[in-house]
């Protein structure tokens, strides 16, 4: 019988099946990033460390009232293992590697690594502060916490001290680790990029349509692309069969895309756009993609013909083609993250209230306001002394009383 600590790959049948992506043989550890050999920590992919790296003492049924046996413990482990998305597990796996390398350097015994004492975690944070960004350190600590939770080990921290240390680590973030402000895409930039896509070509038709769908639906790049050429999973990724045309009581039409799975909505959620004027119209671009590439109903939505076969559009391929287009247009490249930010700015500039844009972009918090680079332009209509301008703004924002 397998125990919770010996299971290597199970989701207990919960959630969508996860496609195996990328090479399953991990690369060698980088110099200076190699932990001491241990049977508790096999050399696996970063995304698998949360599950497969085991603490010396894990969950036990002793004192729980459960009958003897491992079935219940295995089930608990299997259910908990689905709590973290693959991308999150990968980040947390990097944190676990860092933590155990730190423990190796201090000769911390296995029994003292889990449950970890508050002072050990405080020493770990302090060692990283000033060398890594505060956000990275916070993610690493969250990874250690998730590892404790998954394997049934108590996580008992001094909350006030932990929060203060993470705030301090954020303040001590070195300049080299501070992320540059992400610039937003704009409709002007989209128009300038359009001549550098040949929409009769398979890849260009898919990329251009994907770009406009991301922008006008206020979506994340990974929600309409796949991670690798082999990772498409119809239970997770959007397909032509997930696209519908809808209209409201006034006959206003929009195209709805059901995303079967997202990090924030494991059971799926919908995004949408409407036809626009000019070269950045997503409707005409999408129709062109369907005509040129004709993706089957259950294939990746932005799959395209390649040679004698078909490929799903990966995020890497999307970025590579965008880099080429930006270069050809003689514009500094804007990261894919800037698409969703730019969409948020565009809808705000059209007069949509913050709460409406927040809902459309599915922002879980007010953090999205940190990305807005054009506050002055957004707020300008509200700051004018001309009453007529205020009336125009209100007419855009407030629905007409019928």
pLDDT tens-digit series, residues 16-44: 334 334 446 788 888 888 999 999 999 99
Domain that holds residue 374: 187-383
Does residue 26 lie in a domain region?
no
Tell me: do 163 and 244 sit in the same domain: no
What lies within 8 Å, CB to CB, of 281 at 6+ separation is: 212, 275
pLDDT digits (tens, 9 = 90+) for 48-103: 999 999 999 888 767 777 776 778 888 889 899 888 888 889 999 999 999 999 99
Does residue 5 lie in a domain region?
no
Q: Residue 341: pLDDT above 80?
A: yes
The 3-state DSSP class for residue 47 equals helix
Tell me: do 126 and 207 sit in the same domain: no
Tell me: do 202 and 135 sit in the same domain: no
Q: What is the pLDDT of residue 72?
A: 83
Average pLDDT over residues 112-129: 96
- Selection from 184, 179, 209, 180 nearest residue 194 by Cα: 209
Average pLDDT over residues 315-339: 95
Higher pLDDT, 180 or 95: 95
The 3-state DSSP class for residue 322 equals helix
Tell me: do 209 and 230 sit in the same domain: yes
Percent of the chain with pLDDT over 70: 82
Does residue 391 lie in a domain region?
no
Tell me: do 67 and 102 sit in the same domain: yes
Average pLDDT over residues 356-364: 81
Domains identified in the chain, total number: 2
How many Å apart are CA 146 and CA 301, to the nearest integer? 34
Domain finish residue from 122, 153, 177: 177
Q: What is the pLDDT of residue 368?
A: 62
Out of 72-76, 312-316, 334-338, 375-379, the most confident range is 312-316
Alpha helices in 294-336 (DSSP H): 315-328
Does residue 30 lie in a domain region?
no
What lies within 8 Å, CB to CB, of 262 at 6+ separation is: 220, 223, 268, 269
Does residue 10 lie in a domain region?
no
- Mean pLDDT, rounded, of the chain: 85
Q: What is the pLDDT of residue 178?
A: 67
Q: Residue 371: pLDDT above 60?
A: no
Total Cβ atoms within 10 A of residue 51: 24
**Total count of residues recorded for the chain:** 402
Does residue 365 lie in a domain region?
yes
Tell me: do 116 and 219 sit in the same domain: no
What does DSSP assign to residue 277? S
Secondary structure E strands in 201-297: 243-247, 253-259, 269-273
How many Å apart are CA 222 and CA 241, to the nearest integer? 19
Tell me: do 154 and 110 sit in the same domain: yes
pLDDT band at 373 (very low <50, low <70, confident <90, very high): low
pTM: 0.69
Does residue 24 lie in a domain region?
no
Tell me: do 267 and 300 sit in the same domain: yes
Contacts 24+ apart (CB under 8 A), 65-70: 70/1, 70/2, 70/3, 70/4
Domain finish residue from 144, 177, 210: 177
Cis peptide bond N-terminal to 115, omega within 30: yes
Secondary structure E strands in 99-237: none
Higher pLDDT, 328 or 390: 328
Q: What is the pLDDT of residue 377?
A: 60
Q: What is the CA radius of gyration of the chain?
A: 25
CATH number at residue 340: 1.10.443.10
Q: What is the pLDDT of residue 359?
A: 83
What is the four-CA torsion angle of 295, 299, 302, 303, rounded to 10 degrees?
-80
Domain finish residue from 138, 156, 177: 177
Q: For helices 134-150 and 71-80, what crossing angle results, to 10°? A: 160
Q: Residue 2: pLDDT above 60?
A: no
Tell me: do 326 and 222 sit in the same domain: yes
Q: Which helix (H) or strand (E) holds 275?
A: none
Total Cβ atoms within 10 A of residue 178: 11
How many Å apart are CA 60 and CA 76, to the nearest integer? 11
| Residue 330 vs residues 190, 233, 341: alpha-carbon distances, Å | 13, 37, 21
Strand order in the sheet with 269-273: 243-247, 253-259, 269-273
Residue 110 structure tokens:
């296995």
Tell me: do 206 and 165 sit in the same domain: no
Tell me: do 226 and 339 sit in the same domain: yes
How many Å apart are CA 356 and CA 330, to the nearest integer? 34
Does residue 21 lie in a domain region?
no
Q: What is the pLDDT of residue 5?
A: 38
pLDDT digits (tens, 9 = 90+) for 219-268: 999 999 999 999 999 999 999 999 999 988 888 899 999 999 887 788 89
Q: What is the pLDDT of residue 9?
A: 36
Tell me: do 247 and 337 sit in the same domain: yes
How many Å apart are CA 194 and CA 284, to the nearest integer? 13
What does DSSP assign to residue 201? S
């Amino acid at each position: 019988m397998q125990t919770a600590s010996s299971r290597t790959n199970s989701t207990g049948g919960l959630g969508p099946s996860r496609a195996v992506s990328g090479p399953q043989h991990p690369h060698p550890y980088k110099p200076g990033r190699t932990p001491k050999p241990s049977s508790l920590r096999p050399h696996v992919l970063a995304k698998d460390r949360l599950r497969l790296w085991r603490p010396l003492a894990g969950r036990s049924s002793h004192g729980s009232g459960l009958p003897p046996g491992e079935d219940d413990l295995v089930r608990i482990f299997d259910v908990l293992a689905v709590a973290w998305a693959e991308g999150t597990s990968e980040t947390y796996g990097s944190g676990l590697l860092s933590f155990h390398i730190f423990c190796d350097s201090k000769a911390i015994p296995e029994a003292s690594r889990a449950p970890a004492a508050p002072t050990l975690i405080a020493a770990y944070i302090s060692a990283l502060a000033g060398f890594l960004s505060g956000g990275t350190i916070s993610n690493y600590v969250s990874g250690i916490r998730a590892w404790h939770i998954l394997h049934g080990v108590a996580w008992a921290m001094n909350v006030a001290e932990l929060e203060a240390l993470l705030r301090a680590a954020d303040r001590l973030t070195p300049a080299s680790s501070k992320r540059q402000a992400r610039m937003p895409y704009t409709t002007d930039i989209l128009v300038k990029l359009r001549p550098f896509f040949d929409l009769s070509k398979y890849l260009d038709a898919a990329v251009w349509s994907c770009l406009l769908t991301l922008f006008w639906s206020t979506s994340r790049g990974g929600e309409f692309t796949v991670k690798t050429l082999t990772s498409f999973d119809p239970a997770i990724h959007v397909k032509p069969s997930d696209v519908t045309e809808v209209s409201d009581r006034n006959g206003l039409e929009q195209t709805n895309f059901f995303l079967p799975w997202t990090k924030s909505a494991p059971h799926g959620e919908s995004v949408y756009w409407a036809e626009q004027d000019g070269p950045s119209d997503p409707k005409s671009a999408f129709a062109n993609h369907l005509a040129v590439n004709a993706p089957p109903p259950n294939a990746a939505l932005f799959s395209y013909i390649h040679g004698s076969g078909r490929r799903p559009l990966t995020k890497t391929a999307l970025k590579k083609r965008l880099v080429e287009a930006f270069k050809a247009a003689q514009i500094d490249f804007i990261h894919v993250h800037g698409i969703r930010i730019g969409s948020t700015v565009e809808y705000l500039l059209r007069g949509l209230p913050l709460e409406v844009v927040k809902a459309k972009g599915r922002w879980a918090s007010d953090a999205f306001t940190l990305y807005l680079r054009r506050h002055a332009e957004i707020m300008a209509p509200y700051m004018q002394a001309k009453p007529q301008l205020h009336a125009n703004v209100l007419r855009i924002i407030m629905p007409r009383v019928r």
